[in-house]
Amino acid sequence: MPRQFKKLSHSLYECKYHVVFCPKYRHKILQEEVKEYVIQQTYRLCNQKDGVAVLEINVQPDHVHIVLSIPPKYEVSRIIGFLKGKLAFRLFDRFPALRKRCWGQHVWSRGYCVSTVGLDEERIRKYVRWQNKKEQEAIQRRLID
């Protein structure tokens, strides 16, 4: 895949990040409708920030993997804080039953994991897609046992 540098007024950049965050206590709340809503809203929220793009996303029942392109004018921590905060409010508005499981207006765990995507972008993107396959295999094993 050829490199696609993006431009700001005085710089060229390619800043991609692999981010993982999870619900409080790793509760498995990100299933079915909630999962689809998180995916949809993640794209919407990222589109609100100029230059921020979701390159890959995978929502598992107890965590979220996202590969993001974030321009250097934004701090990664601010973008993740924005995403987690807005997603929490939107989830509580859309799914009031989550308030019983996630009390105190807290959906997400306090921290997150972030790593830069360098020359192995395709490997990272495959890993994010692979997480879904791994989860399906685990479900199948539980059904068989």
pTM recorded for the entire structure? 0.80
124: containing domain: 6-144
40 domain residue, yes or no: yes
Order of strands, sheet of 63-69, starting from the edge strand that comes earlier in the sequence: 53-60, 63-69, 16-21, 113-116
What is the pLDDT averaged over residues 15-40? Answer: 94
Our answer to whether residue 17 is catalytic in this structure is no
Based on the structure, what is the number of domains in the chain?
A: 1
Predicted pLDDT of residue 1: 46
Quick check: 23 pLDDT over 80?
A: yes
Comparing CA positions, the residue from 95, 114, 115, 98 lying closest to residue 106 is 98
Instruction: Determine which one of 13, 37, 74, 127 is catalytic.
Output: 127
Percent above pLDDT 70 for the chain: 97
pLDDT tens per residue, range 86-126: 999 999 999 998 888 777 778 999 999 999 987 677 777 88
Predicted pLDDT of residue 121: 74
1 domain residue, yes or no: no
CATH number, domain of 97, equals 3.30.70.1290
pLDDT tens per residue, range 123-139: 778 888 888 787 778 87
